[in-house]
Structure 1
Amino acid sequence: MWFWWFIFVCDLLIPVIMIIAGNMMWKHAPKKINGIIGYRTARSMKNIDTWKFAQEHCGRLWWKIGWVILMPSVVIHFPFYHSSENIIGTVAAILCTIQCLILVLAIFPTEQALKRTFTEEGVRR
């Protein structure tokens, strides 16, 4: 039973981090373009306008997605409460993989929004 609780908490980390990081990026984005913190792609780092737009867009997206995947992440675990550690671990690995994939896939809508809003030189359309 302790293993189930441990895995349950671990599988909630990605949605919770998405909610917290998304809120921070959305409302308290890094003021300066940097290569360490924030949404960092070549298109987002063209100038300060593209930087702010990308932080807000990706942050808002992560915040929304984090809330959306939090509930299924909780519900998926309950049928496996009395299952073996192997089954719980397998379910957790599949869930974590899906969560990470969703996290990374947020790049595509953000890049599309940047492309729609800015020219290749980073000038607002």
Structure 2
Amino acid sequence: MGFWIFMFICVLLIPLTTVGLGKLFIKNPPKEINKVFGYRTSMSMKNKYTWEFAHKYCGELWVKLGLIMIVPTVIVMLFLLGKDADVVGMYGGILCIIQAVFLLFSIFPTEKALRKNFDVFGNRKR
């Protein structure tokens, strides 16, 4: 039971962190364009407008994704309650990989929205 609780906390860290960072990006994106923290792609780093747009868009997407990921994560972990530690560990690891893939794929809609709203130089399209 102890390992199940540990894995339950671990697999919830990704969606909860996603929600938290999403809210942070929406309300308070990094002030300066930097190469350390934030949504950093060549398009998002063109200027202050693309930087703020990308953080707001990605933040909203991350809040939705994080909240959506919580439900199947809890359901899967409840099915694993009382199972062997190897089974819990294997499925917990698979859950973490799936969650990470969802986060990585959030880049595509964010970049699409950037290109829809800004030209290649970072100027807002009319």
Report TM bin, short chain: over 0.9
Q: Distance in 2 between matches of 1:63 and 1:105?
A: 14
Task: Provide TM-score, normalisation by structure 2.
Answer: 0.97
Which secondary structure state, in structure 2, belongs to the residue aligned with residue 13 of structure 1? helix
Q: Look up the match of 1:29.
A: 29
Alpha-carbon distance, 1:60 to partner: 0.7
Which secondary structure state, in structure 2, belongs to the residue aligned with residue 45 of structure 1? coil
Q: Which amino acid aligns with 2:124?
A: R
Q: Distance in 2 between matches of 1:94 and 1:119?
A: 39
Alpha-carbon distance, 1:87 to partner: 0.5
Larger mean CA deviation between 108-117 and 79-88 belongs to 79-88
Alpha-carbon distance, 1:45 to partner: 0.2
Q: Look up the match of 1:106.
A: 106
Q: Look up the match of 2:39.
A: 39
Q: Which amino acid aligns with 1:100?
A: A
**Which runs of 5 or more structure 2 residues have no equivalent in the other structure?**
none
Q: Which amino acid aligns with 1:71?
A: V
Task: Provide TM-score, normalisation by structure 1.
Answer: 0.98
Which secondary structure state, in structure 1, belongs to the residue aligned with residue 38 of structure 2? coil
Q: Distance in 2 between matches of 1:86 and 1:97?
A: 17
- Structure 2 residue 11 is matched with structure 1 residue 19: no
Alpha-carbon distance, 1:84 to partner: 0.6
Q: After superposition, give the CA deviation of every residue in 1:50-101 in whole Å (9 maximum; x if it has no partner).
A: 0000010001100111001111111111111111111101110110000000
**Which runs of 5 or more structure 1 residues have no equivalent in the other structure?**
none
Larger mean CA deviation between 25-34 and 105-114 belongs to 25-34
Length, aligned pairs only: 125
The alignment yields a C-alpha RMSD, in angstroms, of 0.6
Q: Which stretches of structure 1, 4 residues or more, deviate above 2 A after TM superposition?
A: none
Q: Distance in 2 between matches of 1:32 and 1:86?
A: 45
